[in-house]
């Protein structure tokens, strides 16, 4: 009940972080450990002398970590599932929500994110995120994946597999940002931005949390990317939306989605792909992965239902777009907690997430006055913040065992610390990167190009 009350208070605030065992020595030595040697005195008939020597049992050497084929197979599958979330999942989800004249341009953002980030990640992104380094940034010892052989391991899986698994996280983080800048950003400027952003912003924050950096050392809990992926991308998207300005005709012309069928298909692919996102973050085919899948499914479902209910009460109808958005909201909220909470915790987090994210794309969006075109901040930024904070509330000893935080309020502060650090760093660095690009080549298309549509003006193509 205390957790429920604290969780509700957090969501309300948005709306208005060995015992040693001793074994006693056996009083009777094991027969296999004793050698009895009888000697008879040559001088007298005294009782034989018994000499007992206890053979020392060698201490077994620590077992060497070995490749686990089951874990490896699961991460191979998870890697494909996470990439599926971006291409075609997010490409379809975003593509269906823009106007027809911008659908190809919007889908191209997700597609090119996969291309650009893949190259940048293997050159320098991975080493900055997961190299030894210090508390703030990794070293360059794995530049161009130097030294990573086919035999090198990361836990029980090949390190080269870990490289591409984490690459897919970087790809979708960058692609999420594109939802805030849809229908008005130069394609070349977008490519330059994401190439720099993944190195300057994404890699350092990843290192803070997962690569041995200061947030992870402080005990911040982020199972699959609440701070690293969702708050990070949501805040960057919001800053980009402010810097680009509002779309021409916003509030005067219809900005209705041109094809919600694409959006529903995209949301469905994202939902399925999220099993690799959260389940794969267990980095093994084990019970933790299984539990992560269950709470992911439950949170997505409960958030979709709570969103639909609130939308019905507020707007009079429960929309298909609302159901899809609610499911994504639930997936975002459960991401940082997927490996730490019970099913009941996932259910409650989903219910809260659906309501708070609906508020994020309606009332909060009006207050912020930013043209966050496809609600990247309202869904991912707000959902990531809620999920990160509620992780401290619902982290369960039943799931985490001895690793569970001892003090919920102390853990809540650690989570808050991570949220604030991510918001500030991502926001400031995104502003600087975009400002420099704007001074060099400009970030927004010309007015005539925007009226024509980015499909034609940026790519010379259009959907008939």
* DSSP per-residue codes, 184-197: TB-HHHHHHHHHHH
Distance of CA 438 to the CA centre of its chain: 29
Q: What is the pLDDT of residue 287?
A: 94
Residue 58 belongs to some domain of the structure: no
Cis peptide before 88 (omega within 30 of 0): yes
Question: For residue 362, is it within any domain?
Answer: yes
CB 282 within 8 Å of CB 78: no
Residue 450's nearest CA partner among 98, 208, 169, 144 is 98
423 located within any domain? yes
Could you say which residues of the chain have pLDDT below 50?
Answer: 1, 4-8, 10-61
Indicate whether 50 belongs to any domain: no
CB atoms within 10 A of CB 194: 27
Sign of CA dihedral 289, 290, 293, 296: negative
DSSP single-letter state for residue 275: I
Rounded to whole angstroms, how far apart are CA atoms 325 and 372? 15
Domain containing residue 102 = 69-456
pLDDT at 446: 94
Contact 382, 14 (CB under 8 A): yes
Query: Can you say how many angstroms the Cα of residue 50 is from the centroid of all Cα atoms in its chain?
Result: 68
78 falls within a domain: yes
Q: Among candidates 259, 284, 275, 317, which has minimal Cα distance to 102? A: 259
3-state secondary structure of 157: strand
pLDDT recorded at residue 16: 45
Q: Please give the model's pTM, rounded to 2 decimal places.
A: 0.85
**pLDDT on residue 50:** 38
Name the residue with tokens 């005990």: 219
From the list 459, 448, 446, 436, the residue with the least C-alpha distance to 200 is 436
Q: What is the pLDDT of residue 219?
A: 94
CATH number for position 132: 1.10.3430.10
Which residue from 135, 129, 217, 127 is spatially nearest to 173, judged by alpha carbons?
129
| DSSP structure string for 36-53 | EEEE--SS--PPPEEEEE
Dist. CA 358–CA 373, nearest whole Å: 15
Q: Do the Cβ atoms of 54 and 253 come closer than 8 Å?
A: no
By the 10 Å C-beta count (0-12 exposed, 13-18 middle, 19+ buried), 319 is classed as middle
Residue 261 placed within a domain: yes
Determine the Cα–Cα distance for residues 145 and 136; give it in Å rounded to an integer: 20
Total domains present in the chain: 1
Residue 59 lies in a domain: no
Cβ count within 10 A of residue 351: 21
| DSSP 8-state secondary structure symbol assigned to residue 402 | G
Indicate whether 5 belongs to any domain.
Answer: no
């Amino acid at each position: 009940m205390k957790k429920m009350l604290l969780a509700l208070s957090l969501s309300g605030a948005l709306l208005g972080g060995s015992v040693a065992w001793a074994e006693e020595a056996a009083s009777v030595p094991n027969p296999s450990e004793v050698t009895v040697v009888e000697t008879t005195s040559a001088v007298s008939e005294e009782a034989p002398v018994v000499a007992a020597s206890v053979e020392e049992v060698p201490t077994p050497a620590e077992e060497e970590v070995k490749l686990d084929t089951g874990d490896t197979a699961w991460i191979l599958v998870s890697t494909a599932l996470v990439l599926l979330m971006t291409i075609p999942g997010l490409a379809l989800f975003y593509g269906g929500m823009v106007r027809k004249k911008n659908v190809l341009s919007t889908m191209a953002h997700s597609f090119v994110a996969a291309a650009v980030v893949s190259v940048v990640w293997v050159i320098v992104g991975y080493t900055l995120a997961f190299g030894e380094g210090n508390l703030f940034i990794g070293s360059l010892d794995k530049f161009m994946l130097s030294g990573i052989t086919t035999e090198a391991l990361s836990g029980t899986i090949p390190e080269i597999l870990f490289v591409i698994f984490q690459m897919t996280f970087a790809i979708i983080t960058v692609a999420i940002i594109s939802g805030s800048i849809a229908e008005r950003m130069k394609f070349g400027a977008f490519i330059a931005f994401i190439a720099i952003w993944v190195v300057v912003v994404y890699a350092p924050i990843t290192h803070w949390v997962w690569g041995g950096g200061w947030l992870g050392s402080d005990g911040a809990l982020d199972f699959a990317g609440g701070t690293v992926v969702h708050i990070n991308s949501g805040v960057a998207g919001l800053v980009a939306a402010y810097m680009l300005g509002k779309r021409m005709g916003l509030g005067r012309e219809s900005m209705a989605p041109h094809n919600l069928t694409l959006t529903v298909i995209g949301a469905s692919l994202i939902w399925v792909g999220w099993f690799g996102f959260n389940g794969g973050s267990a980095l093994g085919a084990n019970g933790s992965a299984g539990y992560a899948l269950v709470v992911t499914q439950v949170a997505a479902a409960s958030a979709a239902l709570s969103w639909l209910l609130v939308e019905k009460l507020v707007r009079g109808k429960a929309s298909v777009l609302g159901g899809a958005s609610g499911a994504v909201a639930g997936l975002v909220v459960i991401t940082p907690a997927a490996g730490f909470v019970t099913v009941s915790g996932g259910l409650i987090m989903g219910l809260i997430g659906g309501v708070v994210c609906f508020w994020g794309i309606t009332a909060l969006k009006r207050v912020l006055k930013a043209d966050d075109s496809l609600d990247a901040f309202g869904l991912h930024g707000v959902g990531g913040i809620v999920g990160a904070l509620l992780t401290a509330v619902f982290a369960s000893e039943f799931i985490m065992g001895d690793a569970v935080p001892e003090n919920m309020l102390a853990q809540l502060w650690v989570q808050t610390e991570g949220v604030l650090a991510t918001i500030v760093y991502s926001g400031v660095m995104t502003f600087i990167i975009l400002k420099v690009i704007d001074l060099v080549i400009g970030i927004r298309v010309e007015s005539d190009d925007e009226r024509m549509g980015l499909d034609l003006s940026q790519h010379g193509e259009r959907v008939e």
